[in-house]
Structure 1
């Protein structure tokens, strides 16, 4: 008797399963604003009918203007890369062959370009597109033709120091907020950490190195201007 009852249950379950298998599998509606705004209110049915606009933005709903200063700062790296390139090109000619200075300035050019591309990736990770917004003060690329070795090093030190100061200002903008402040104030802990770890530490060391080179060249010239060409030659060998 028990075996007959079990067989009856199995038959009923099989019939129910075969009936349900003929139905189309419906996609449940995700809750609204779970990943952003849902384009269509009626999204039940096929998955193709449900369009979700996902976003990785954490600052606010639109973030307009909140990252403009960081974007300008990113573009300044690209601009400075060309400026370093023009400076380096002067020390690799038949008229002025200074391989050490050329190597130093070319390295600064490559570093500025690579860091600019890296920062573009940082801003796009946050759900914003990069824009080529330039500061009026740094939009013009100066070729700085026919400069001396000392002037080139001093100019590079000035550029790096301005980038360091600017990074400090942008870090302050993205790292200060209070619990009762508006979420649209621009606070971004991840970006402020990136600026401190990946930009400011490196820039601090670069500024110290370049200012040291500039001061050393000044002392060499002050000690004996007549021996300065030989001192400059030895200094270039040191940079190589």
Structure 2
């Protein structure tokens, strides 16, 4: 009786090891067989894969937006080194996040699709902004990325069969959500501080110069 229980247990494990079954079938046939189940996918990664791919593409697009804004403030006419440094840092950070996301997708057995979009991206063809406008747009952008991370996290934590993947939610919390909250706070503070300086001081040029000097040290 015990022998039958052990035997049935081994058979159940064997049938669950899909990659193992593919390998055994390949050896028996002595021919090239695609090992379709020998991949790194598990959990509900397929349920959130499109969202992750779209999130990567958003990061790539916004990284170039930040870079163009940085070059606008770094030219000889504007000469705002603090603003240039801030948006260059945001560009580099967003680009590195895209790379990290791609590595995570491939680690979980997925493939990156650079055409994937959950929503149609809004045209962002205005980069020659005033300083206060650039900070406001940077804040809006970071909040958009933070909201997208929350949406993917919510999808991964749904209590339903085939969609619950705590590993994805843990990754987003550790790599993105906590840091994004801090980035949003900083940009909101910069925007509010500069708006107050411009409102309380009649010498706007001096206020912008001093704030730019502050950014050079703070960023």
Please indicate the TM-score interval, normalised by the length of the shorter structure.
0.7 to 0.9
> C-alpha distance in 2, partners of 1:137/1:222?
37
1:65: Cα distance to partner? 5.1
> Comparing both chains, which one has the higher relative contact order based on Cα–Cα distances under 8 Å and sequence gaps of 6 or more?
2
Query: Contact conserved, 2:69 with 2:128, CA < 8 A, in 1?
Result: no
Worse overlay, 202-211 or 130-139: 130-139
8 Å contact kept, 2:51–2:118: no
Residues 94 and 50 of structure 1, relative CA distance in 2, 3 Å threshold? closer
Query: What is the root-mean-square deviation of aligned Cα atoms in Å?
Result: 2.4
Residue in structure 2 matched with residue 191 of structure 1 by the alignment? 168
Question: What stretches of structure 1 move > 6 A for 4+ residues in a row?
Answer: 48-51
Q: Secondary structure at the match of 1:67?
A: helix
TM superposition shift of 1:228: 1.7
- Distance (whole Å) between structure 2 residues aligned to residue 41 and residue 32 of structure 1: 12
Quote the Cα distance in structure 1 between the aligned partners of 2:93 and 2:133: 20
Q: What are the superposed Cα offsets for residues 67-126 of structure 1, whole Å, 9 maximum, x if unpaired?
A: 211211111001100010111111111111000000000000000000001001111111
Q: Which residue of 2 aligns with 1:99?
A: 81
- Structure 2 CA distance, aligned partners of 1:231 and 1:188? 49
- TM-score, with structure 2 as normaliser: 0.83
Aligned residue in 2 for 1:23: none
Cα distance in 1, alignment partners of residues 27 and 210 from structure 2: 74
Deviates more, 1:128-137 or 1:31-40: 31-40
Is 1:212–2:212 an aligned residue pair? Answer: no
> How many pairs does the alignment contain?
201
Shift in Å, 1:40 = 6.5
Question: Is residue 138 of structure 1 aligned with residue 150 of structure 2?
Answer: no
Give the secondary-structure state (helix, strand or coil) at the position aligned to 2:42.
Answer: coil
Quick one: which of 5, 17, 27 aligns to 1:34? Answer: 17
Relative distance call for 1:92 and 1:130 in structure 2 (3 A) is same
Q: What is the DSSP-based 3-state SS (H/G/I as helix, E as strand, rest coil) of the residue aligned with 1:41? A: helix
| TM-score normalised according to structure 1 size | 0.76
Decide which structure has the larger Cα Rg and report it.
1
Residues in 2 aligned to 1:126 and 1:165: alpha-carbon distance in whole angstroms: 23
More helix by share: 2
Q: Extract unaligned runs of 5+ from structure 1.
A: 1-29
Tell me, yes or no, if structure 1 residue 202 matches structure 2 residue 186.
Answer: no
Q: Quick check: 1:236 aligned with 2:212? A: yes
Question: Does the 8 Å CA contact 1:86/1:143 hold for their aligned counterparts?
Answer: no
